[in-house]
Structure 1
Amino acid sequence: MKRVVIYGGTGGIGLATARALRNRGFALHLAARDGAKLQEAAASLGETTTSAGDVTDPGFFAEVAEAAGDSLAGLVYAVGTINLRPLGKLTADDLTSDFRINALGAFLAIQASARALRAGAGEAGAGIVLFSTVAAAQGFPAHASIAMAKGAVEGLAVSLAAELAPQVRINVVAPSLTRTPLAAAITANEGLSSGIAAMHALQRLGTPEDIAGLAAFLVSEEAGWITGQVIGVDGGRSMLRTKG
């Protein structure tokens, strides 16, 4: 059975993507910090192995690659941050942390598994999916740190998509605000979240399943001629003005 590594597969978009990939028949290897949540997710998914560790530890990626095996059909890096602070309140540590978790982690994950991805490529190529944000292209106040980090993710994706082709495809999904545990501090405030939802042409916030469907498709052989793309799944936020 073809196997996909998912970093951050215990909740939110990562777990929803894991479910979507299992529904497509992939075996999974989940990598995340919380060992208890890893075991819970693995038990609910079936055909799933796990690695517990922290993406801020460079040695973790080699451990994941070894545990996941010598042949991979895909890799999903669904680890991220939401650090919303204005310019005057951002520190160098904030920017370093956001870059390390979002961009450097994605690089190290791909680097560690590149050989296995080439080995498992098949005719359609192995599929890698990274995650950006609508804010990387739109420009929102108080988003400097996360937009800078996710902009680096987009640059990384297109560079490595060229370098690893044709055996490996790399694409980026760029959501708008989505109802995930990571975004709970924002979405739990119904007044605030309703106001943000109204800024979207489709008049609602995203769900993990909205994002996961595209992510799983991009990993799969059905997306065999798609690589180097940044694709918005954002309720129209990046391209459309609301009627109001």
Structure 2
Amino acid sequence: MKNIIIMGCGQGIGFATAKILSENNNVIGISRTHNPELEKLNIEFHQLDILNGNLDDINFPEVVDGLVYAPGSINLKPFNRLTEDDFKNDFEINVLGAVKCIQKLLPNLKKSESASIVLFSSVAAKLGMPFHASISTSKNAVEGLTKSLAAEFSAQKIRVNAIAPSLTDTHLASQLLSTPEKREASGKRHPLQRVGNAEEMAKITEFLLSADSSWITGQIIGIDGGMGSIKL
């Protein structure tokens, strides 16, 4: 049984991942929000703000086989309305939070025979999309971090990959999908004519943590209904 750490397990993709992985793994979930549904899962849960909390307060397993960093942000504004703090906040939650967690758990990951780290980017890092300046900036940093760490950690056989979703039906995107009309319009922007869901992202995460992906590292995997690759 593998020891898997999921940062941001309270809702959305992180929660869906915890739900799937808890069936066959020892899962430690960390989130600043407490979702009552977590109590139904077989996981060890800690309520902690990853940016401001102290990870030393958690007794992590000596060996960590998988780390999933799922916190994120959707901050869509015209560029002239974005503040310096907007850019800082998006960078902190998407990049510096991941750095903090990886640095804390790196000694534990090194002790695994098949460690894997999964981060999250966005289709907006690949495509130029209006109103995405802040989120695109931070997610491009996530992709750079993914590739750099994949190269650096390869000597320890630690794999590092990132998933780059398009719009996914989660709490984070609730305002963008708040009416049937918005949902339909969002779906039509994708070649496959719909938005994604958290379970799809969770299953790809499960794959990237498994032995089935043992020859995959340094990859940015677009799970985006074709938006990042094709145009109809």
> Taking structure 2 as the reference length, what is the TM-score of the superposition?
0.95
Q: How far apart, in 2, do the equivalents of 1:222 and 1:31 lie?
A: 26
- Confirm or deny that 1:19 pairs with 2:19: yes
Runs of 4+ in 1 over 6 A off after TM superposition: none
Q: How far apart, in 1, do the equivalents of 2:228 and 2:57 lie?
A: 37
Among candidates 195, 214, 217, match of residue 224 of structure 1? 214
Report sequence identity in percent.
42
Counterpart position of 1:6: 6
- Confirm or deny that 1:81 pairs with 2:73: yes
Q: How far apart, in 2, do the equivalents of 1:70 and 1:164 lie?
A: 18
Counterpart position of 2:176: 186
Q: Which amino acid aligns with 2:126?
A: A
Q: For residues 16-165 of structure 1, what are the structure 2 equivalents within 5 Å?
A: 16-23=16-23, 25-34=24-33, 36-37=34-35, 40-41=37-38, 43-46=39-42, 48-57=43-52, 59-64=53-58, 67-120=59-112, 122=113, 125-165=114-154
Q: How far apart, in 1, do the equivalents of 2:50 and 2:104 lie?
A: 12
Deviations 1:216-239 (A, max 9, x none): 100111111100000000011111
- Give the CA deviation at 1:68: 2.1
Q: Which moved more, 1:188-197 or 1:221-230?
A: 188-197
> Taking structure 1 as the reference length, what is the TM-score of the superposition?
0.91
Q: Secondary structure at the match of 2:63?
A: coil
Aligned residue pairs total 231
Q: Which consecutive residues of structure 1, in runs of 5 or more, have no partner in the other structure?
A: none
Q: For residues 202-221 of structure 1, what are the structure 2 equivalents within 5 Å?
A: 202-221=192-211
Q: Which consecutive residues of structure 2, in runs of 5 or more, have no partner in the other structure?
A: none
Q: Which amino acid aligns with 2:14?
A: G
